[in-house]
C-alpha cells in the first residue's frame, strides 16, 4: 500500500471510498443503469467478493486457533475461573437476546429493499435437533474447516483444546516441556492469521467503493434506507446492553455507576477511537485498577481474559445482522433458527479477535449456519467502520463490568492494596 495512504486513518479512507462509490454509482445509473453499465458495475464489486471469500476462508482457522490458544495459555484460578465463565456466558446471552428482541420489534430489514441473491437460499429448512446432534461429529478432523461448519468446529476445537491443556498440566507436573513447541506453533499460526486479516482489512476501502457504486448504480438508494434503520436499531440495542451492565455493576459490586463511568471513560474512548479491544486492553486494566480502584486480580482477569474472548457487542451485532438481512430478503427465520443464530453468535463472538472489523470475519459462519447468503455481508461492510467502534466500546464495557462484579461488594482495604502481587501488572505490561 502506498505510504501516504497508511497515514490516513482507515475510517477516513472508508468514508472517502463511500462518497466516491455514491458518486460513481449515481453517474453510472443511480438505480436505472444502461445494460453496458450493469456489467461494469458488477465488475466493480469483484474486490468485495474476493475479500468476503477470503474472510470466509479464514473464519474457521481463526476460531480453531483462538480456542486452542485460550486453552493452552489462559491461567485461571479455579474458583474465579468458574465465576468468570458464568459471568461471560450470561452477559453474552443477554446481549444476543437484547439484539434479537430489538431486531424483531424494530424490523430494520423491512424499511427498505434488497435485491434477491444470486445463489439459492436454504434458510427455510426447519431445525432438526437430532439431526444436528448426529451431524456434530465430523467425518474427518479437517472437515469442519472445509465445510465451515461451526458446531463440528467447536467439537474439534474443544476436544483438542481440553486434551492439550490436560497434557500440558501433566507435563508441567513432571517437569517436562514437550508441549512448548505446539504452544509456539499455535501462537505463531494465530498471529499469522491475524496478520493476513490485517492485510485484508487494509483493502476494505476498495471493496466499499465497489460495492457502494454497484448498489447505488443498480438499485439506487433503497438498500441504504434499510441500512440506516439497521444502524439505529443496533445503536438502540447497544445502549440497552450498556444499561444492563450499569444495573449489574450497581447491584452486584461495590462500584457505583458514576465511579464506573468516570473512572472507565479513558478505556471506553480508546475503544471507540481504535475499534480494537486488544489495543485498548492495557488502558482498560490501568483505569480499572487506578481510577475505578478494583483489586489487581479482578482488573486483570476481566481485562486480560475478557479482551481475548468476551465480545458481547460483537455477539449482539452478529445476531442482529443475520436477522436484518433475513428480514430484508423477506425470509422468516423461525424461532429454532434464531436459536441457531444465538449459538453460532456466541461462538463467533468468542472467536472474533479484538481487532477492527474482526466481527465481519466470523459473521460469515453465523450466516452460513442458517443458510443466509454471505454476499449480503458486503452491504454491512459499508457501515461497519462506524458500528465496529460502537460495539468495541460495548465489548470493553463488558470486560469492565465482569471485573467489577468479580471484585465483589466490598472495596479493597489499605492492607490488601499494599500486599497485592505485581504479577498481573507485569503480565499486562509484557
Residues of the shown chain interacting with ligand ASP in the complex, contacts defined by CB under 6 A: 275-277, 311, 314, 352, 354-359, 388, 391-392, 395
Cβ partners under 8 Å of residue 326, min gap 6: 109, 123, 332, 333, 370, 372
CB of 351 to ligand ASP, least distance (A): 10
CB of 37 to ligand ASP, least distance (A): 34
User: Which residue sits closest to ligand ASP, CB atoms considered?
Assistant: 359
Q: What are phi and psi of 350, to 5 degrees?
A: -65, -40
Nearer to ligand ASP, 102 or 321 (CB): 321
Please work out, in degrees rounded to the nearest 5, the angle formed at the alpha carbon of residue 277 by the alpha carbons of 184 and 67: 40
Alpha-carbon gap, residue 193 to 365, rounded angstroms: 17
- Please name which of 176, 191, 154 lies closest in space to residue 71, comparing C-alpha atoms: 154
CB of 64 to ligand ASP, least distance (A): 18
Nearer to ligand ASP, 100 or 234 (CB): 234
Other CB atoms within 10 Å distance of the CB of residue 167: 15
Nearer to ligand ASP, 356 or 373 (CB): 356
CB of 366 to ligand ASP, least distance (A): 12
Nearer to ligand ASP, 182 or 269 (CB): 269
CB of 394 to ligand ASP, least distance (A): 9
Please work out, in degrees rounded to the nearest 5, the angle formed at the alpha carbon of residue 23 by the alpha carbons of 357 and 320: 35
Concatenate the DSSP letters of all residues of 249-276 into one string.
HHHHSS--HHHHHHHHHHHHHHHHHH--
CB of 403 to ligand ASP, least distance (A): 16
Would you say 210 and 47 are in contact if contact means Cβ atoms under 8 Å apart?
Answer: yes
Alpha-carbon gap, residue 403 to 303, rounded angstroms: 7
Nearer to ligand ASP, 201 or 301 (CB): 201
Nearer to ligand ASP, 358 or 370 (CB): 358
Amino acid at each position: 500500500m502506498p505510504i501516504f495512504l497508511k497515514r490516513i486513518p482507515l475510517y477516513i479512507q472508508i468514508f472517502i471510498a463511500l462518497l466516491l462509490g455514491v458518486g460513481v454509482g449515481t453517474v453510472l445509473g443511480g438505480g436505472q443503469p444502461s445494460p453496458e453499465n450493469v456489467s461494469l458495475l458488477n465488475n466493480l464489486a469483484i474486490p468485495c467478493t474476493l475479500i468476503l471469500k477470503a474472510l470466509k476462508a479464514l473464519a474457521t482457522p481463526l476460531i480453531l486457533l483462538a480456542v486452542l490458544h485460550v486453552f493452552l495459555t489462559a491461567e485461571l484460578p479455579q474458583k474465579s475461573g468458574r465465576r468468570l465463565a458464568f459471568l461471560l456466558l450470561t452477559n453474552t446471552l443477554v446481549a444476543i437476546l437484547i439484539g434479537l428482541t430489538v431486531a424483531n420489534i424494530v424490523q430494520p430489514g423491512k424499511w427498505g429493499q434488497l435485491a434477491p441473491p444470486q445463489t439459492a437460499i436454504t434458510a427455510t429448512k426447519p431445525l432438526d435437533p437430532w439431526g444436528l446432534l448426529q451431524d456434530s461429529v465430523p467425518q474427518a478432523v479437517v472437515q469442519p474447516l472445509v465445510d465451515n461448519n461451526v458446531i463440528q468446529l467447536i467439537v474439534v476445537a474443544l476436544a483438542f483444546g481440553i486434551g492439550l491443556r490436560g497434557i500440558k498440566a501433566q507435563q508441567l507436573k513432571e517437569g517436562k516441556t514437550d508441549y512448548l513447541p505446539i504452544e509456539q506453533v499455535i501462537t505463531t499460526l494465530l498471529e499469522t492469521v491475524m496478520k493476513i486479516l490485517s492485510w485484508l482489512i487494509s483493502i476494505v476501502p476498495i471493496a466499499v467503493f465497489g460495492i457502494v457504486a454497484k448498489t447505488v448504480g443498480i438499485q439506487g438508494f433503497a438498500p441504504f434506507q434499510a441500512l440506516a434503520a439497521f444502524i439505529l436499531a443496533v445503536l438502540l440495542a447497544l445502549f440497552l446492553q450498556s444499561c444492563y451492565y450499569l444495573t449489574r455493576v450497581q447491584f452486584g459490586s461495590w462500584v457505583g455507576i458514576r465511579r464506573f463511568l468516570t473512572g472507565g471513560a479513558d478505556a471506553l474512548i480508546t475503544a471507540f477511537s481504535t475499534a480494537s479491544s486488544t489495543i485498548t486492553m492495557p488502558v482498560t486494566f490501568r483505569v480499572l485498577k487506578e481510577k475505578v480502584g478494583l483489586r489487581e486480580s479482578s482488573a486483570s482477569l476481566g481485562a486480560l481474559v475478557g479482551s481475548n474472548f468476551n465480545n458481547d457487542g460483537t455477539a449482539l451485532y452478529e445476531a442482529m445482522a443475520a436477522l436484518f438481512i433475513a428480514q430484508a430478503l423477506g425470509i422468516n427465520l423461525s424461532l429454532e433458527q434464531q436459536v441457531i443464530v444465538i449459538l453460532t453468535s456466541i461462538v463467533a463472538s468468542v472467536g472474533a479477535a479484538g481487532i477492527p472489523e474482526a466481527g465481519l470475519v466470523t459473521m460469515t459462519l453465523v450466516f452460513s449456519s442458517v443458510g443466509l447468503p454471505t454476499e449480503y455481508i458486503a452491504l454491512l461492510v459499508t457501515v461497519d467502520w462506524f458500528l465496529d467502534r460502537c460495539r468495541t466500546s460495548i465489548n470493553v464495557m463488558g470486560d469492565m463490568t465482569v471485573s467489577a462484579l468479580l471484585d465483589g461488594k466490598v472495596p479493597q482495604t489499605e492492607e490488601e492494596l499494599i500486599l497485592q502481587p505485581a504479577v498481573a501488572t507485569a503480565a499486562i505490561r509484557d
